[in-house]
């Protein structure tokens, strides 16, 4: 491609006609054939991966192929130089997280100071912005996509000097942007130092409280003495990388927040168990006036750094501690957002803390994100898995190693179950509306279920548990009783939703598998149309309130033969 003249940088040699003794190029043999050096500028498209040799070519491509006219946007919104810098970085940041058509309808969408920082390293477009903003908006010619064509007002040397001055002014402005970023980093370091002092003070207060017999905050849930290991398990990078790369999970939160920015504009948000801070930053970008991010693990230090690296330190406050014990800088919040769901939904009992935070801080018309969850159970038949992972131990190179799987029938296994291994429609056994659910509803002895087989099976090998999650926009919104996430969204339900079931895309939660112990009983084949029915119970363990015991009683049709078994998650 031929380089675009508007984006080329020409290196020229000039001198004074009155000072010929200093340098006389005409007398030097060979210099008369010297051509100006040209530095080719590679500019990446704002909305795709195409690379252009010049800013103007890229801008024309955006206008013709993506209906994105930067010049017109600049005129329509009255943008100055730094506004255009923010606009470019805003568009690149939105595209980077998967937003194909960033919202550029209003200047307020990209006024955050974070957009002064380059998203693309060595972004050549930023260094060539003088082609776009080097003159008043009225001087921009929309037909040429850049600088209006005017008659020359001086010599070539004059024009080169003017171009050089414009480029130096632009570099100076970008240097000022970089300096502001460094100032923000210094503020961040100062804040970390101050918060380390606050933590020391908090430890001292805790010691005084312990010695005086004072307990945790009034009405706070008592979760036993296992919290240290629980919070420590969320301090490392790997677990957060796994969760962030779970696109079903993360995309659902992002999509709900970004598609409903009107719910967040000017609001105060509480993020319970903020982790890396991703949900807090989604909310800040959606227009929240203030976000309070709380976590009791070491990951809060990384969250705080992430917040400042992305220029959101004025909006997001990161607090370390249990939500039941920290002191928030506000009395009430408009929205609570949290990714609290555990294996089989209720493992780790994080929902208890979210409910406590709701009762303490959420306004009466406040919004819970997510808003609803439903637990499902279904029968499972998987002869291949049973043969490969259980019967295998009966004869290992001629040796009986059956003791190797003695606990497999006692523990809930977390694994991916194939669609074909579920021979019946699932039965919902617990529906939670997060705006009204009480903690006592999270333990139960006998929720009923019934699943009719859709095909003949050789044996009922076990049961599968998963959950659906819904994000409704209205605090008083209701999910239809029989709604399943994947069907509800497909049929046009007014919400974002996802399933962790075997029929949906894989998530890091996978499914909870309860294998039936047939060591002292015989499995039997079942026919299509027969109904597996019974009751299921969830109980917290006495020695570890974050662990879970699941109890099942079941029978086939109205048979007098009944089975029962218990499994644990700890």
Determine which one of 339, 384, 387, 458 is catalytic.
339
Instruction: State the virtual CA torsion across 190, 195, 196, 198 in degrees, nearest 10.
Output: 140
Nearest Cα neighbor of 159 from 14, 25, 53, 4 is: 14
Q: Which residues of 38-64 are buried (b: 16+ CB within 10 A; e: fewer)?
A: eeebebbbbbeeeebbbbbbbbbbbbe
CA distance 461 to 381: 5
Determine which one of 348, 384, 387, 482 is catalytic.
348
Query: Is-catalytic flag, 10?
Result: no
Nearest Cα neighbor of 91 from 105, 101, 80 is: 101
CA distance 333 to 356: 13
Sign, CA dihedral 72-77-80-83, equals negative
Beta strands in 338-418 (DSSP E): 362-369, 372-380, 413-415
CA distance 25 to 20: 9
**Tokens coding 480:** 């239809």
Which DSSP letter does residue 394 get? G
Percent helix / strand / coil, the chain, rounded to 5:
35, 25, 40
With contact defined as beta carbons under 8 Å apart, do 276 and 244 qualify? Answer: yes
Query: Is-catalytic flag, 339?
Result: yes
CA distance 273 to 355: 13
Which parts of 286-435 fold into alpha helices (H)? 299-309, 350-361, 383-389
CA distance 184 to 533: 60
- Residues making up the chain, counted from first to last: 570
Sign, CA dihedral 244-246-249-252, equals positive
With contact defined as beta carbons under 8 Å apart, do 307 and 293 qualify? Answer: yes
The residues assigned a catalytic role are 339, 348
């Amino acid at each position: 491609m031929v380089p675009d003249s508007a984006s080329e940088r020409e290196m020229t040699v000039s001198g004074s006609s009155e000072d010929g003794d200093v340098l006389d190029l005409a007398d030097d043999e060979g210099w008369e054939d010297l051509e100006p050096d040209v530095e080719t500028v590679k500019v990446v498209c704002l909305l795709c991966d195409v690379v252009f040799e010049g800013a103007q070519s890229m801008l024309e491509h955006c206008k013709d192929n993506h209906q994105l006219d930067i010049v017109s946007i600049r005129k329509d919104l009255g943008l100055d130089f730094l506004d255009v810098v923010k606009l470019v970085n805003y568009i690149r940041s939105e595209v980077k997280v998967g937003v194909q058509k960033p919202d550029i309808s209003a200047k307020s969408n990209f006024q955050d100071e974070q957009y002064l920082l380059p998203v693309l390293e060595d972004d050549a477009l930023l260094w060539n912005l003088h082609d776009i903003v080097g003159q008043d908006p009225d001087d921009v010619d929309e037909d040429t996509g850049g600088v209006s064509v005017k008659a020359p007002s001086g010599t070539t040397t004059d024009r080169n000097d003017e171009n050089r001055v414009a480029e130096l002014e632009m570099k100076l402005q970008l240097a000022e942007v970089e300096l502001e970023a460094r100032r923000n980093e210094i503020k961040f370091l100062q804040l970390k130092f101050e918060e380390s002092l606050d933590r020391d003070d908090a430890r001292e207060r805790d010691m005084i409280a312990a010695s005086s017999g004072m307990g945790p905050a009034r009405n706070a849930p008592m979760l036993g003495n296992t919290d240290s290991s629980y919070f420590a398990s969320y301090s490392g990078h790997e677990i957060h990388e796994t969760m962030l790369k779970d696109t079903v999970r993360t995309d659902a939160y992002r999509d709900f927040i970004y598609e409903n920015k009107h719910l967040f504009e000017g609001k105060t948000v509480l993020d319970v168990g903020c982790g890396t801070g991703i949900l807090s930053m989604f909310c800040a970008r959606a227009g929240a006036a203030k976000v309070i991010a709380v976590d009791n693990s070491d990951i809060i230090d990384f969250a705080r750094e992430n917040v400042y690296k992305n220029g959101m330190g004025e909006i997001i406050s990161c607090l370390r501690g249990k939500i039941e014990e920290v002191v928030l800088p506000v009395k009430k919040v408009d929205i609570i957002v949290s990714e609290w769901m555990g294996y089989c939904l209720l493992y780790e009992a994080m929902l208890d803390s979210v409910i406590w935070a709701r009762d303490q801080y959420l306004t009466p018309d406040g919004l819970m994100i997510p808003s609803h969850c439903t637990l499902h159970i279904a029968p499972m038949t998987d002869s291949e898995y049973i043969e490969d992972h259980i019967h295998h131990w009966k004869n290992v190179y001629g040796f009986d190693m059956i003791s190797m799987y003695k606990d497999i029938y006692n523990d809930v296994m977390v694994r991916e179950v194939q669609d074909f291994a579920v021979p019946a429609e699932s039965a919902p056994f617990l529906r939670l509306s997060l705006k009204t659910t009480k903690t006592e509803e999270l333990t139960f002895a006998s929720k009923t279920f019934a699943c009719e087989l859709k095909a003949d099976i050789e044996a009922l090998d076990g049961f599968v548990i998963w959950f659906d999650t819904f994000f409704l926009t209205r605090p008083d919104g209701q999910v239809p009783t029989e709604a399943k996430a994947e069907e509800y969204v497909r049929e046009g339900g007014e919400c974002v939703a996802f399933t962790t079931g075997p029929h949906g895309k894989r998530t890091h939660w996978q499914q909870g598998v309860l294998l039936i112990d047939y060591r002292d009983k015989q499995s039997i084949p079942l026919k299509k149309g027969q109904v597996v029915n019974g009751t299921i119970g969830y109980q917290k363990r006495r020695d570890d309130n974050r662990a879970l015991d699941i109890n099942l009683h079941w029978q086939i049709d109205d048979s007098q033969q009944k089975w029962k078994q218990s499994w644990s998650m700890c």
